[in-house]
Amino acid sequence: MNSLTGAMNNPRLFQVSAQVQPGNSGGPLVMENGQVIGVVVQRLSDLGMLEHTGMVAQSVNYAVKSSFVLPLLEGVEGWTRPEGKADKADRSAIIERARKAAVMVMGY
């Protein structure tokens, strides 16, 4: 995590340097222990930065903090918050915990 706030000090976002590719939006931002701390929402536009500043920023990406996402998820039928904590050394348990914490949310 690079910053506890997003662009223009937006308190709802984290700035992260984790690789974000097209299609990653909506994916979980997961800590080493499997805790989902946010949802990937945006990467800084390479072209926009180049046009605006003359340089390309590298790995400047943003995720919505989970504290802003949880109220929405709590309204999703069938979704429950995963219980317990994964052992930091058990990678497969961490991946499974993250998988269970991720749901598809579609707006109509």
CA angle 52, 54, 59 (to 5 degrees): 85
pTM over 0.75: no
**Domain residue spans in the chain?**
7-101
Mean of per-residue pLDDT scores for the chain: 80
Q: What is the pLDDT of residues 62-76, one digit of tens each?
A: 999 988 888 887 887
Task: Give residue 21's pLDDT.
Answer: 83
pLDDT at 84: 60
**Residue range 45-68: mean pLDDT, rounded:** 87
The architecture CATH gives domain 7-101: Beta Barrel (2.40)
d(C-alpha 94, C-alpha 85), whole Å: 9
Cα–Cα distance for residue pair 83/36, rounded to 1 Å? 12
Shortest CA distance to 88 belongs to which of 39, 38, 30, 37? 30
- Which tens digit of pLDDT belongs to each residue from 85-102? 656 667 888 777 777 766
